Structure 1
Amino acid sequence: MTNDINADIIRNLNDSFRRNLVFGGTVLLTPGVTSLAIDRQAELLEAVRKFDSFTPDNDPHGEHDFGSIDLDSVRFFFKVDYYDLNGRFASPNPADPAVTSRVMTIMRADEY
């Protein structure tokens, strides 16, 4: 039961962060994303914010921490990772925002 509760909490934290892209963590864009024109970057970020195509295949733990988006026939991924507050090690508890720093990386699939 604890794992289900933690997955619910983590999912809610990840969804909140992904939807606002400001509060709850840090967003990193790879060179494949930053090389896009600004309007394309904005379109990609908006697609990440609105992403809701989570399935058991792409989200087996129910945490909404990964997604795949196609934009102009190019595939992009976003991935949320959980670090301690210093950003040096894995978070001791990703369900606890008091000890977790979320980092979302948005990249071209070929950069993975």
Structure 2
Amino acid sequence: MAQYQCNTCGAEAEQEQGAAECCPLCAAGNVVNPKLQAAETAKANDAFRAQAPLGGHPVYQGRVVATRGVSAEGPEFVTRALLETAAFDNFTEDNDPYGDHSMGAVQVFGKIVWWKLDLYDADYRYGADEPLDHKNTRRVLTLLLPSEY
């Protein structure tokens, strides 16, 4: 059995075999398998993070921002935080409950830095309608201190 979720109305359903073609509740064709979507999003998030220190990824577009607290630590701190974030791969059930690799924590010069990846539309105004539509999805990688959350 595979679980599917409608991105239009939020309804969830299980199907024995094959992919669901439409939502049984609202008949929308915007139905996804949440586990497969999370796995694909994780791959894209990992690729984006890995390329962030090098100026960006050619397919997964977005930007990196640092909060005032992180920026106040100086350029060397920010650079090291970005490098540590790019290399992060210690995902567990506790720190990655959705399996999409969208948040983590690294240690930089003895301080904890959190990082968070959010997915937006191409104009950075709203959340991404289709996270796997890489032409219209933008990633924002935010570096922040726990005290700023």
Q: TM above 0.5, one fold?
A: yes
Q: CA-to-partner distance for each residue in 1:1-55, whole Å, 9 max, x for gaps?
A: 4222211210111000001111221111111111123222221111001101110
Which of 40, 45, 53 pairs up with 1:14? 45
- Report the secondary structure of 2:147's partner residue: helix
Output the CA distance in 1 between the equivalents of 2:139 and 2:131.
8
Say whether residues 1:91 and 2:128 are aligned partners.
yes
1:53 aligns with 2:84: no
Identity %: 31
Deviation at 1:87, TM superposition (A): 1.0
User: Is residue 74 of structure 1 aligned with residue 74 of structure 2?
Assistant: no
Larger radius of gyration between Structure 1 and Structure 2: 2
- Structure having the higher helix fraction is 1
Cα separation, 2, equivalents of 1:48 and 1:18 = 7
CA contact (8 A) 2:104 2:115 kept: yes
Runs of 4+ with deviation above 4 angstroms: none
Question: By how many angstroms is 1:70 displaced?
Answer: 2.0
Does the 8 Å contact 1:15/1:64 carry over to 2? yes
- TM-score, with structure 2 as normaliser: 0.70
Q: After TM superposition, give the deviation of residue 84 of structure 1 in Å.
A: 0.9
Q: CA RMSD in A?
A: 1.3
One-letter identity of the residue aligned with 1:35? A
Corresponding position of 1:105: 142
TM-score by length of 1: 0.92
Helix, strand or coil for the counterpart of 1:95? coil
CA contact under 8 A between 1:7 and 1:95: conserved in structure 2? no
User: Higher relative CO (CA 8 A, sep ≥ 6), structure 1 or 2?
Assistant: 1
1:50 & 1:108 partners in 2: Cα distance? Answer: 18
